[in-house]
A and B are shown apart, each in its own frame.
Chain A
């Protein structure tokens, strides 16, 4: 097994802590992980916006970057879904079957549910759409969270409803996007959770952006955290 991290462009530039967390989890579980520097963006923004040729170029780059790796792990359900669902149609059928969203890799490949994490907080989980519907992640993320020591997992009402990010949808239809985000943040606040957890930082970026503009004590107490960062948190190196 040769494992590579596909960190994704958003995590690389804006949320490096998530990538670092994946490296820590995998190394803690005894998995050596590589990071081919030739990787960049999976091409999803181009693909979903109708720029198919440009998406094809990035698909080719991404596929080449991970040549020689048997397992490519990514902390983004959406980017994993892009590769798995659309790369074959872009002429790159080889990478899809080797790409794993983090929770899939942990649960299905490593067969681990308890990754030895500690995080004594009240957490609710938002399953992002592409992980939910295109990858079929099911309850894997919630099983991983439930096994974290000290963590109290509370159900999010309307969990399977889109948060309103949707890539360029967020800026092409900002009013509807923000309205959806407000409802999601409202549902998270109603759970009394301190942490709204997700497996896609682009959705969390949108939700955190909405939360920061939302008034009230519940919203002020709430923060958004990627699944990987909770799973990386330990007694020795806790996530604050």
Chain B
């Protein structure tokens, strides 16, 4: 079973620890820089990229504005095609529904397609509590599950592991879950992939229940879409007798025409491919082909609350491509675990506090986990203005009287109020500057309370006089001072 994020420290502490881990830093730097460069090339191939980006944004916004209508249309189409639709208000309800559906089949194990929604709800843990084993079949999810680890990236959840670490995990843990790793397994990528293939093949052929998420749901026909690279998804979606898909309500698109836009932007943004290797689409059930029973669990879990926020709702456009993680300088250094959620990086910093609220120290610290450099917004294929949402969430944290460092919050509030007063009274500002400059020889190089700055940086020396003072003298003396 994978570890959970409960009880995590606030972002700055966790990120500080990650920064000090040289192996993690090297793994992340190598991986993010590689995919960053590839994405740039893949996107540059399309002359109409900006138009596609704008179209994706507008399709999502239009859908979200009438989400109720499209969800009901989707439900109608899924039911007409032989599927069953369940509505889950929160994670617990979703897990209860899925557990009940699996129990009704009498099966004690399920195979899973990589799914953010079921990670968000902690489905594997809920199934385990009911005595049902859930096997992850995506290669990276397998690495995370075998390593009793947590995902640290949306698309490549084991990005924090290098191949040597993967070999060790396979050697030590595969036997506990099924077919052990071959003797003498090395860290050659082809060998590692083959070990995973052999291990997983057993699961695919045995499993009678498959659980997935979906990248998109097409309302007009009730069709679900999973895009993937490894073919494990295709196996899980077609071989089992029962298929259960847990999907966030924001994943609906009205028509196939709308879907076309995202099938261009998603692969290029995520894996830097023109087209992903496997695109599986299914509509209800079909006689003699694929699962006999299909259940769709529509998950809210905070999404409609986010929809009510005029600025924050744009986070619901997200198609989980991970481009924002791959360009984020903070993610690159802090790693995914520091974000304490299955959604790390810039999108996690705006999504998690909206889905979970800003009550915990960790969740309240996430809107501050950014230098607001804007690299994420630049690459986002649905134009989510992440810095804008971060600032709005900071306003919320301030309004709630909380802050990443709650003890320091009163101090920050006082400092902001004092600074605003001084800046609103330039005479006081000028006097303060003169006083600071006059006493500058007395200032310690590491003043008390400036530790967060001076731990890794020196402070600038104050000048003999401020610009304001220089200008005043120059105007008074009618000559240029210096």
Contact = CB atoms under 8 A, between A and B. Distances in A.
Interface residues of B, number: 65
B470 interface: yes
Given A45-B416, A54-B417, A9 B460 contact: no
Interface in B394-438: 394-399, 404-405, 412-413, 416-417, 419-420, 422-424, 426, 429-430, 433, 436
B463 interface: yes
A48 B466 contact: no
B467 A48 contact: no
Contacts of B405: 172
A162 B371 contact: yes
B457 A213 contact: yes
Nearest to A65: B426
B369 A173 contact: yes
B429 A176 contact: no
A208 B458 CA distance: 8
A167 B371 CA distance: 7
A231 B453 CA distance: 30
Contacts of B426: 37-40
Given A20-B467, A51-B416, A166 B374 contact: no
Contacts of B399: 50
Given A134-B374, A165-B371, A175-B15, A40 B424 contact: yes
A58 B417 CA distance: 11
B371 A13 contact: no
Interface string A140-166: 000000000000000000001110111
A76 interface: no
Interface string B279-290: 000000000000
Contacts of B81: none
A15 interface: yes
B467 A16 contact: yes
B330 A48 contact: no
Given A12-B468, A176-B16, A50 B398 contact: yes
Nearest to B451: A174
B371 to A, nearest CB: 3
Contact of B463 (A14, A51, A130, A212): A14
A180 B329 contact: yes
A129 B404 contact: no
B330 A173 contact: yes
B368 A173 contact: yes
Q: Which 5 A-B pairs have the closest CB atoms?
A: A166-B371, A209-B457, A50-B394, A178-B456, A162-B373
Interface of B: 11-12, 15-16, 19-20, 25, 329-330, 333-334, 367-375, 377-378, 391, 393-399, 404-405, 412-413, 416-417, 419-420, 422-424, 426, 429-430, 433, 436, 452-453, 455-460, 462-463, 465-472, 482
29 contacts: A7-B467, A16-B470, A19-B471, A35-B471, A38-B426, A46-B416, A46-B420, A48-B372, A51-B398, A54-B420, A129-B373, A133-B378, A134-B374, A160-B375, A167-B372, A171-B453, A172-B368, A173-B330, A173-B368, A173-B369, A175-B16, A176-B19, A176-B330, A176-B334, A179-B19, A179-B25, A180-B329, A206-B457, A213-B457
Given A39-B426, A133-B374, 6 more contacts: A43-B423, A46-B419, A160-B375, A165-B371, A176-B12, A178-B456
Interface of A: 7, 9, 11-17, 19-20, 35, 37-41, 43, 45-52, 54, 57-58, 61, 129-130, 133-134, 160-162, 164-182, 205-206, 208-210, 212-213
